[in-house]
Amino acid sequence: MSEPRTMGVEEEFLLVGPDGSPVAKAQEALEASGNDNKERGTGALEPEFMEEQLETASHPQASLADLAVEIRAGRARAQEAADRVDARAVALATSPIRFTGTTVSRLRYLQAREFFGITAREQLTSGCHVHVAVADDVEGVAVLDRIGPWLSVLMALSTNSPFWQGEDSDYASYRSQVWARWPTSGPTRPFGTPQEYHAAVDALVSTGTILDKNMVYFDARLSPRYPTVEIRVADVCLDPDTTTVLAALARGLVETAAREAADGRPTPPVHPELLRTASWRAGRSGLAGELVSPSTWQPAGAHDVVGQLVAHVRDALVDAGDLDVVTELLGRLWATGGGAARQRAWHAESGGDMRRVVERAVEVTHS
């Protein structure tokens, strides 16, 4: 086969102080570390919507092993910047400790805060976006039209936000609930052609409800900046191995969908109401309960549904040389229970001390 598709990862991290609370020091950290010029590449750092966050970005990589190195390099560079302002960079998708978010002082972000009110003010949430290369918009739309049923499974694997404003939310991913408040978030219908996709994006902008095309927050979209499909459903993963397996499975999904399209297989029927319900289910219980199976649209154990995903993309994983690594890393994930389960275990072990949850999360972030 030809070289595997390239993939890249963007990860968002909370900045926390010595007591575990979010601190508004992103711009200060970027300036102090010389990372305020928005460079791109291995571990490149950028601000996010809130001053309590930093974002890293990798180069596109064809090798999963090389991407795994970049993921760790990005986390290390985020911590190096945080060190300069007496802070820690931690892979938590929401803060376990109460916070008041601080919007980054950029015109676009301030406009969003004014227009969207509490939705913007409470957006101190950290996600993980996986970019996978596509040949062009034709292939990209064919991929988007086919991967939707499986995106909730990727979310379940990443779930890492059980706590919100000092309380247990009873969700594995409460970030997904907060994110769902944006008007363009969530699953989409099949588009069929690039023209129909771009017409839908233009129509959303024309409503005057969002600021621009960059605020089209579909679960998966054509990237506005790169020749990629951008999969946006995941929490930032607690440990770098989970990010690695997430990227491998995302590439497997894109490759499998592209092959189906190239073989002339019709787009399966997609019902956004079922996709949205499956996504909610994944955010609620993560790996600890049942998910909605994309094969049957019936409830099934999370282990079985993840197995269905691996079976669905198995040929693509084998061809990329990723199957053994994915199998090993998924085994580790099942052994630990995932980010949400680990946070809850640390909370229980510490007698309900949220600061201890953050301390343990910092350790695992940089493991």
Residue 128 domain flag: yes
- Domains identified in the chain, total number: 1
Query: How high is the pLDDT of residue 41?
Result: 52
Residue owning tokens 């007496």: 86
* Mean pLDDT, range 168-187, rounded to an integer: 98
Residue 360 domain flag: yes
Find the range with the poorest average confidence among 41-45, 166-170, 348-352: 41-45
Distant-in-sequence, close-in-space partners of 88: CB < 8 Å, separation ≥ 6? 15, 16, 17, 79, 82, 358, 362
**CATH code, 248:** 3.30.590.20
Residue 1 domain flag: no
Residue 2 domain flag: no
Residue 35 domain flag: yes
pLDDT, mean over the chain: 95
Tokens representing 309 are 């995903």
CA–CA gap between residue 5 and residue 3 (Å, rounded): 6
| 54: enclosing H helix or E strand | strand 53-57
Any alpha helices (H) in 170-301, and if so which ranges? 174-179, 194-206, 240-262, 272-285
* Mean pLDDT, range 255-272, rounded to an integer: 95
- The C-alpha torsion from 312 through 315 and 319 to 320, rounded to 10°, is 10
* Per-residue pLDDT tens digits for 88-137: 999 999 999 999 999 998 899 999 999 999 999 999 999 999 999 999 99
Residue 14 domain flag: yes
* Mean pLDDT, range 281-293, rounded to an integer: 97
Q: Which residues make beta-bridge pairs with 299?
A: 292
Q: Which domain holds residue 253?
A: 7-365
* Per-residue pLDDT tens digits for 13-39: 999 999 999 999 999 999 998 876 555
* Helix (H/G/I), strand (E/B), else coil: 162: coil
Residue 92 domain flag: yes
